[in-house]
Amino acid sequence: MSFDRVLGQEFAVGTLRRALQGGRLHHAYRFEGPDGVGKEMAAMALAQAHVCERPVEGEGCGRCGDCRRAQTISAEAPHVPQHPDVIVLEQGLYNEIGIEEKQGISVKQIRQVLLARLHVPPHAGRGRVVIIRNAEEMNQQSANALLKTLEEPPARTHFILLTSKGRMLLDTIRSRALPVRFAPLRDEVMRKILAARGVPASTVEQVLELAGGSVSAALAFADAEETEARAAFVEGVRRAILAPDASEALALVQARDKEKDALKDRLAVLAATFAREARQQELAGIAARQEPDWVRAVLGALRELERNVAPALVLETMLLRMRQAA
């Protein structure tokens, strides 16, 4: 069921599940806690509980058409859930359709995206959920436009305000929404989620401490580290090719972690880098010299990896070919 996807937030999820099962759901909640700990996922689970065609113990099944449309984001602007009864507000989200916002959630967004749509009942006659991301970005004016509706929403309409800066929520808004707290995720939960997102275990251990229990922060750190590692590999290869003797190349082969997938990733970046440099030289009117040969050597190495030649041997052979072409 849809709340099963929200990992490591037993307290928050327990609160919401009990309210759902007991039919005591409040009409307005504020989910407070750091970014990247599951607030939005929990909001989506709550939305599915309201729109699902076949709820199971009060929760969305996660599989029916309505559940799927609730969590499928439209490809075209505004990029919001496809389900008409799941309304998402966020600063700047509607810029492309004419609600220009540089700062804060405007009163125009509250009126045009939200209030104008609340006059009609929910689409399928079930529930409707309004999710406001970074709700602290409502200013006095937009908050005032919302207050009355937040206090007494139309039938079957529920509000979920998301914020990582609960103290910056306006008091008028805060007092009308029931708090549900989301804690930073524990390390073992982070490990599970990041592994499922394909982050290598060694990287996970490096970013855990920096991330402070936030999946989005961990992914950002992991990515920065990857970017750095890739750049270092490209420069290492360049030095190895141009060095007067093969010692740099040998050092690189020995230092490389021998993992096939990691090497494939690095080689793909390497081929793209050299190909880009060759194009730039051509555009500048300089005939690219070694780069096309280098690209061919990298592509050859990728083919050898596919044929399960040992990564260290592949790398060594490639560097040798490149040095010969240099």
Question: What is the binding site for Zn ion (CB under 5 A)?
Answer: 52, 60-61, 64, 67
Residue nearer to Zn ion on the CB measure, 126 or 192: 126
Residue 305, H or E segment: helix 291-306
CA-wise closest residue to 264 among 309, 197, 228, 322: 309
CA distances from 90 to 37, 103, 131, 150, 223 (A): 18, 11, 9, 16, 25
Q: What does DSSP say about strands 28-32 and 128-132: parallel, antiparallel, or unpaired?
A: unpaired
Cis? peptide before 78, omega within 30° of 0: yes
The answer to whether residues 97 and 79 touch, using CB atoms and an 8 Å cutoff, is no
d(CA 131, CA 45): 12
Residue nearer to Zn ion on the CB measure, 67 or 177: 67
Residue nearer to Zn ion on the CB measure, 44 or 185: 44
CB of 55 to Zn ion, least distance (A): 7
Report phi then psi at 307, rounded to 5. -85, 15
d(CA 2, CA 43): 10
Residue nearer to Zn ion on the CB measure, 67 or 253: 67
Residue nearer to Zn ion on the CB measure, 67 or 315: 67
CB of 56 to Zn ion, least distance (A): 8
CB of 54 to Zn ion, least distance (A): 6
CB of 239 to Zn ion, least distance (A): 56
CB of 44 to Zn ion, least distance (A): 12
